[in-house]
A and B are shown apart, each in its own frame.
Chain A
Amino acid sequence: MAVLDEEKNVLASVYLDTAGSPIKALKQALDQIREDSGRLGFQVKGVGITGSGRKIASFLIGADVVKNEVTAQTIAALHYDPKVSSIIEIGGQDSKVILLESGVPVWFNMNTLCAAGTGSFLASQASRLKIPVEEFGEYASRSGLKVNIAAKCTVFSESDMIHKAALGCKKEDIINGLCEGLVRNFISNVAKNRPLGDPVIFVGGVASNRGVVEAFERELGRKVTVPKDHKITGCVGVAILAMRENTDHTKFKGFGLAKDDIKTDFFVCPDCQNRCDITSILVNDAAAGHLGSRCEKYNEKKW
């Protein structure tokens, strides 16, 4: 979650692992921002929401703009560098590439099948190796030997790492091999071997990992920029879009969410043969929104 002022400077931000409870994390983040607003004295004039949970979050918080992550990241990257040519985003469970020409996105792709190239995989390997993922960069930089680690699939990748360790390869080399494998996988499967033009911006949680950043730089043969706010660029982008809406009355529901009782109700609608599975989000026992309806009965049919 991030708060921007009128000059698009980040006044406050929160970056949390949802740890399987996204609504709890949302409440926590919102509460933190509420504290920040009291301390720094700002008022919320507009809200933008992005990410895979954007629909649900918009039911709970209220939003002026609800936009997909590709557009949000594009807007953010253009804000950091209007000449940006390639955006690499690698987050917890997805990765994307966006190519631009003269400030206009001309192509993008999101990973489809597997999380092999994303943050959750790196985190699970870090946990297995008992090395904090933040130290991956340091380990990778100490690598002296090129070790090829299969990177297309998490299962095979882990098997390969275990196998290389059994052969006697050092952790530094294995970690470096993993970072390089991730980069190779990204370039061939996500970027589909399209040339990534200069300047390149790398965002998302994984951009914190120096091992991956440097592997990209080696593979691409050029410097890769990691903005200071790389973890929250999606928020920045969608906040800028909300700013453009310039509404007088924001749909923001206020900071009360932290105290609200939020429940999800699952039921099957019996009204026709389709038997849709409906998910209802209840705030203090009142329905705030629904998902899953094939007709207009429970939710809008527009995307």
Chain B
Amino acid sequence: MGIKLSFPRYGKYTDLLSELCTNLGVDIIAPPPITKRTVELGTKYAPGDICYPFKITLGTMIEAVEQGADTIVMANSDGWCILRCYAAVQEEIMKSRGYKFSMRAINIRKPIKFFLDIRRIVPGLSPLTLIIEMVRFFRRAKELDDAEKDVNKDSDIRIGIIGEVFVCNENTVNMDIVKKLQHMGIFVDRWLCLSNNVVMLFKDMFGLSGANKYSRIAKKYFPIRIGGHANENLVRLIKYVKEGYDGAIMLRPFACSPETVIEPIVERISRDHNMPVLNLSIDESTLETHFQTRVESFVDMLRMRKAAR
């Protein structure tokens, strides 16, 4: 068929995603790196108030098509948050600007749709092949995530990262905060890492999440089910408290609705449990120096608190 496929970047897992595509027999254009130009393109063509991940993924799509991709793949979350509209709106924007390509949204919530959406790109794909490649992909992602959690395992300071899934995974957008924290000698647990994501998606697809997944304790703080990973973040934060973490960092795009809604709830949990949480908002105007100052101050404070105990 000879399509040239590309897709938005997803942090250190981008190469794994490329490999997955190649293993399925698809020719790809490796997603170009996220640079100043990517951000400029995305911000220029995206609706002004939209969440940052939309802008970044749009920018990458445009650059990929400029570099010769004729098919773009994007996740369709079919529910959670504005992510459900990304593919459709991005396609509309790009086509109205004269970019010629096909948008292929992949449903990541319903197993049959997932398979059928991928088979549209890989004609003749068998379910078995897909399962084998997904397992291979998951294993590789897990290796990367386990390696990340291996760093500074015996550190006296442990920080948990919560927030919006894209900014938690795309290191060019989060100022490579995990590496920077690790350089400071800190143990970092990033619960929204891809291997955890895949497990959650799998459970969700096959109805294994369980009705009482949203713990009673978190419900006390926020009784409504909302989008993104907002509710899950609250649960995970309380777990971080229980596991004796020294602090948590919340990474969110500036205009992300679910994360904005839970921000005061996170503040409340932080106060109630005496667990410092650093709230960092990210968008095109975020300056690295501001980020760095806040993270450095936060780490200093955690060290001073620990030393006093």
A42 at the interface (CB under 8 A from B): no
- What residues of chain A lie closer than 8 Å to B36, measured between beta carbons? 275, 277
List residues 74-109 of chain A with CB under 8 A from any CB of chain B: 74, 102-108
- A276 and B179 CA atoms in complex are apart in Å by 19
At the interface, is chain B mostly helix, strand, loop or mixed? helix
Q: Which of B35, B176, B296, B300 contacts A274 (CB 8 A)?
A: B35
B294 at the interface (CB under 8 A from A): yes
- A98 and B24 CA atoms in complex are apart in Å by 54
B292 at the interface (CB under 8 A from A): yes
Query: Which of B51-59, B135-143, B193-201, B301-309 is the interface stretch?
Result: B301-309
- A108 and B290 CA atoms in complex are apart in Å by 14
Q: Which of B271, B274, B301 contacts A70 (CB 8 A)?
A: B301
B302 to chain A, nearest CB (A): 9
Q: Assess whether A106 is in contact with B274, with CB atoms less than 8 Å apart.
A: yes
How many residues on the A side are at the interface (Cβ–Cβ under 8 A)?
29
Q: Assess whether A106 is in contact with B276, with CB atoms less than 8 Å apart.
A: yes
Q: Which of A52, A55, A275, A303 contacts B184 (CB 8 A)?
A: A303
Q: Assess whether B32 is in contact with A273, with CB atoms less than 8 Å apart.
A: yes
Q: Which of A67, A69, A108 contacts B301 (CB 8 A)?
A: A108
- If A106-B276, A273-B33 touch, does A303 touch B295 (CB 8 Å cutoff)? yes
- A46 and B297 CA atoms in complex are apart in Å by 22
B156 at the interface (CB under 8 A from A): no
Q: Assess whether B308 is in contact with A303, with CB atoms less than 8 Å apart.
A: no
Q: Assess whether B304 is in contact with A303, with CB atoms less than 8 Å apart.
A: no
A189 at the interface (CB under 8 A from B): no
- What residues of chain B lie closer than 8 Å to A249, measured between beta carbons? none
- What residues of chain A lie closer than 8 Å to B289, measured between beta carbons? 52, 55
Q: Assess whether B271 is in contact with A194, with CB atoms less than 8 Å apart.
A: yes
- A301 and B271 CA atoms in complex are apart in Å by 33
B212 at the interface (CB under 8 A from A): no
- What residues of chain A lie closer than 8 Å to B295, measured between beta carbons? 303
- A277 and B35 CA atoms in complex are apart in Å by 10
A110 at the interface (CB under 8 A from B): yes
Interface hub of B37, B296, B298 (most chain A Cβ within 10 A) = B296
- A52 and B290 CA atoms in complex are apart in Å by 8
Q: Which of A192, A273, A294 contacts B267 (CB 8 A)?
A: A192
- What residues of chain A lie closer than 8 Å to B179, measured between beta carbons? 301
- If A68-B300, A303-B180, A303-B184 touch, does A273 touch B35 (CB 8 Å cutoff)? yes
Q: Assess whether A104 is in contact with B305, with CB atoms less than 8 Å apart.
A: yes
- If A68-B293, A69-B293 touch, does A104 touch B308 (CB 8 Å cutoff)? yes
A77 to chain B, nearest CB (A): 13
Q: Assess whether A303 is in contact with B276, with CB atoms less than 8 Å apart.
A: no
- A109 and B10 CA atoms in complex are apart in Å by 30
- A302 and B296 CA atoms in complex are apart in Å by 11
B115 to chain A, nearest CB (A): 34
- A103 and B176 CA atoms in complex are apart in Å by 32
A21 at the interface (CB under 8 A from B): no
Instruction: Mark interface residues in A47-78 (1 if CB within 8 Å of B CB, else 0).
Output: 00000100100000000000111110010000
Q: Which of A107, A110, A274 contacts B276 (CB 8 A)?
A: A107
Q: Assess whether B297 is in contact with A68, with CB atoms less than 8 Å apart.
A: yes
B90 at the interface (CB under 8 A from A): no
List residues 75-96 of chain B with CB under 8 A from any CB of chain A: none
- What residues of chain A lie closer than 8 Å to B274, measured between beta carbons? 106
Instruction: Mark interface residues in B20-47 (1 if CB within 8 Å of A CB, else 0).
Output: 0000000000001101110000000000
| Sample of 7 more A-B contacts, CB < 8 Å, known A74-B304, A275-B37, A276-B35 | A55-B289, A106-B301, A112-B281, A274-B33, A277-B36, A303-B183, A303-B296
Which 3 residue pairs spanning A and B have beta carbons closest together? Answer: A70-B297, A104-B308, A71-B300
Complex A-B: 18 CB contacts under 8 Å = A52-B290, A52-B293, A68-B296, A68-B297, A74-B304, A103-B308, A104-B305, A105-B301, A106-B301, A107-B301, A108-B298, A192-B267, A275-B37, A294-B172, A301-B180, A301-B183, A303-B184, A303-B296
Interface residues of A, Cβ cutoff 8 Å to B: 52, 55, 67-71, 74, 102-108, 110, 112, 192, 194, 272-277, 294, 301-303
Interface residues of B, Cβ cutoff 8 Å to A: 32-33, 35-37, 172, 176, 179-180, 183-184, 267, 271, 274, 276, 281, 289-290, 292-298, 300-301, 304-305, 308
